Amino acid sequence: MAEGVAQNDLMEAVAQSRDKQAFAQLFDHYAPRLKTFLLRQGCDASTAEELVQETMLTLWRKAERFDSAQATLATWVFTIARNKRIDRLRRENKPELDPNEPLLQPETVSAEQLVDRREQATQLQNAIAALPVEQAELVRMAYFGDVVHTQIAEQTGVALGTVKSRLRLAMKRLRRSLDPDE
């Protein structure tokens, strides 16, 4: 097959009218080259053949996306093959989750623990409500709204240093309120 223009013409025939003969010529040209490329990249023969099939199927399905102004046909085809190989490696190397992993087990909480948590939440809400309004607002934004200090300064129009000072004072007051022994 003549390189360059002829391949682009075949590709255009596949894109425009799903020309099976043009696709067959492209397949005959690229399949062995792709297999060699994939074998050199460390694939076994079976995986290389599967990836060649997937690559050529993608070429068939997405033929209209090829743009000869962006890259040569060979570059486009080999990029598809490379990406298919990377996707395969990612799937294969993804660790299996162990359903018996302690961190994946649902947390068992006793009724007593639930009551304790509710009491603590109520104490915290009351302690925040007892803060000066500007400090309470900053605590809510920083710790419950997950807003960083610079964003708090921008949103409130308060200087960054003032935001940090007010948060520091608020935390000190909350600690004293929640743990009077401290």
Q: Is 164 exposed, middle or buried (0-12, 13-18, 19+ CB in 10 A)?
A: middle
pTM, 2 dp: 0.51
* 100 in a structural domain: no
Same domain, 10 and 89: yes
CATH number (domain holding residue 60) = 1.10.1740.10
Amino acid 99: pLDDT: 76
Q: How many domains does the chain have?
A: 2
**What's the pLDDT at 1?**
46
Position 182 scores a pLDDT of 59
88 in the same domain as 122: no
Whether 69 and 26 map to the same domain: the answer is yes
Position 114 scores a pLDDT of 85
80 and 122 in a single domain? The answer is no
Range of the domain at 24: 5-93
**What's the Cα-to-Cα distance from 130 to each of 12, 54, 115, 135, rounded to whole Å?**
72, 64, 23, 10
The number of beta carbons lying within 10 Å of the beta carbon of residue 84 is: 20
Q: What is the CATH number of the domain that holds 165?
A: 1.10.10.10
Any domain includes 127: yes
- On whether residue 108 sits in a domain, the answer given is no
Residue 150 falls inside a structural domain = yes
89 in the same domain as 9 = yes
Asked, for residue 110, whether it belongs to a domain, the answer is no
Report the pLDDT value the prediction gives residue 3, as an integer from 0 to 100: 55
Same domain for 128 and 84? no
Instruction: Report DSSP letters for the chain, one per residue.
Output: --STHHHHHHHHHHHHH--HHHHHHHHHHHHHHHHHHHHHTT--HHHHHHHHHHHHHHHHHTGGG--TTTS-HHHHHHHHHHHHHHHHHHHHHSPPP-TT-GGGSPPP--HHHHHHHHHHHHHHHHHHHTS-HHHHHHHIIIIIS---HHHHHHHHT--HHHHHHHHHHHHHHHHHHH-TT-
Q: Is residue 56 part of a domain?
A: yes
| 66: its two tokens | 């090829």
Q: Can you give the pLDDT at residue 109? A: 78
In a domain, 102, yes or no: no
pLDDT, position 102: 76
**The predicted structure's pLDDT at residue 2:** 45
Does 86 lie in the same domain as 133? no
* pLDDT score at 39: 93
Q: Tell me the average confidence (pLDDT) per consecutive run of 10 residues in the chain, 182 residues long.
A: 70 92 94 94 92 95 90 93 92 76 78 88 91 92 90 92 94 87 65
